[in-house]
Amino acid sequence: MIQPPEKMSPTPPISGMDQGEPAEALYNVRMRTSVNGKHYSGGEEILPEKDIEEGVARLFKRGFESPPRNHRAEISISLKVDGIAAEQIRKWELLPVRQLESDNEETTKSFIRSFLALSVKEISSEPEKSVQNILDYMDSFQKPWASPMWGASLLAPSGEIVPTSDHGVRTTHIGIRTEARLDLLTFANSSGISGRRFPEALMLASKVIAQPLVHLEICVSDDPSYTTGYIANKKTGYIRLPHIKKAGLTGGGRIYLLHHSPDTEELADLLSELRGRAFLFDKASPVYPPQKLTDLLFTCEQELKCPHPIHSSPG
């Protein structure tokens, strides 16, 4: 039985891969909806055989209902079901969740700058320059004329782009057990967090951060009405950042800041893990209450000094 967050120890659990493999066969069910050939929405689940039909129906409904009714004639929905070999599945733990208390963009920007200054010095020989390059890159994808990113951009420790495809890197093949999802939703609700974006983003970030080559992830939603983003890192967990952008901006994107500039083989391995390896989460993680900027930075500084990351290598 999972304890409610307030009863949990203030230190996030050190987690790693559970070497045991799920006994039953599992299936990755993915949905993509486009309107007039343009991507509109997507979703995925990892399910046992008995739940596939229900999952397909749920994802179909979500895709079908996402565009406005007057676009129904131009809608195209694809649903794909892939079996996953048991030895291909990584059972993993979600990152613990922290939250910045902020009611304006300035506070959030200031936190991001200070957090990056602390965290980037672990990987960059010119941390100030790297931080500025990362912030400039974040600004560039929030410009009103920025073309929407389909996936994430990879940045080297210097903050320079590591070229991949034009549309960025898509991280897929992520699922959570029903009981863990319900526990997570309970924790989220008790912290005033609702909707499906948070659990989905937490799962995605937990898979991304499990990659040894990824130092941290920053996310700004491209939904003009969703102004909460996050920074995730192995040591500090998933940090929710309200007011990461002004409401109404259509720009958004994800940055995966790499631990070092990868060679061709390392890059290919990373992309294949992110795109193809199935990650299944079977336990909810704690959601800590919001902290003021200076308190949260202090917490992060302590955790960044700690030699052990939250996740060990997926091997």
List contacts with ligand PML (CB under 6 A): 197-198, 201, 219, 221-223, 226, 228-230, 240
The span from the CA of 230 to the CA of 220, in Å, is: 7
Selection from 284, 127, 278 nearest residue 193 by Cα: 284
**Cβ proximity of 17 and 92 under 8 Å:** yes
Task: Choose among ligand PML, Mg ion, none what residue 309 binds, the Cβ cut-off being 5 to 8 Å by kind.
Answer: none
Nearer to Mg ion among residue 41 and residue 132 (C-beta): 41
**Cβ proximity of 279 and 210 under 8 Å:** yes
Least distance in angstroms from the C-beta of 223 to ligand PML = 5
Least distance in angstroms from the C-beta of 163 to ligand PML = 24
Task: Choose among Mg ion, ligand PML, none what residue 141 binds, the Cβ cut-off being 5 to 8 Å by kind.
Answer: none
**Cβ proximity of 95 and 232 under 8 Å:** yes
Neighbours of 111 (CB within 10 A): 23
How does DSSP assign 206-247, residue by residue?
HHHHTSTTEEEEEEE-S-TT---EEEEETTTEEEEETTSS-T
Least distance in angstroms from the C-beta of 226 to ligand PML = 6
- Listed in sequence order, the residues at least 6 apart from 24 whose beta carbon sits closer than 8 Å to its beta carbon are 48, 49
Least distance in angstroms from the C-beta of 269 to ligand PML = 26
The span from the CA of 215 to the CA of 264, in Å, is: 18
Written as six digits, the tokens of 178 are 């029903």
Nearer to ligand PML among residue 225 and residue 264 (C-beta): 225
Task: Choose among Mg ion, ligand PML, none what residue 150 binds, the Cβ cut-off being 5 to 8 Å by kind.
Answer: none
Residue 95-134 contact track with Mg ion, rule CB under 5 A, x = bound: ----------------------------------------
**Cβ proximity of 183 and 2 under 8 Å:** yes
Which helix H or strand E contains 135, and what residues bound it? helix 127-141
**Total number of residues that touch Mg ion (CB under 5 A):** 1
Residue 194-223 contact track with Mg ion, rule CB under 5 A, x = bound: ----------------------------x-
Nearer to ligand PML among residue 29 and residue 287 (C-beta): 287
Task: Choose among Mg ion, ligand PML, none what residue 197 binds, the Cβ cut-off being 5 to 8 Å by kind.
Answer: ligand PML
Written as six digits, the tokens of 207 are 């898979």
Nearer to ligand PML among residue 235 and residue 243 (C-beta): 243
Give me the residue whose beta carbon is nearest to ligand PML: 221
Least distance in angstroms from the C-beta of 170 to Mg ion = 11
Task: Choose among ligand PML, Mg ion, none what residue 255 binds, the Cβ cut-off being 5 to 8 Å by kind.
Answer: none
Task: Choose among ligand PML, Mg ion, none what residue 228 binds, the Cβ cut-off being 5 to 8 Å by kind.
Answer: ligand PML
Give me the residue whose beta carbon is nearest to Mg ion: 222
Residue at token pair 């992830």: 217
Neighbours of 1 (CB within 10 A): 3
Please count the residues of the chain: 315
Residues contributing to the site for Mg ion (CB under 5 A): 222
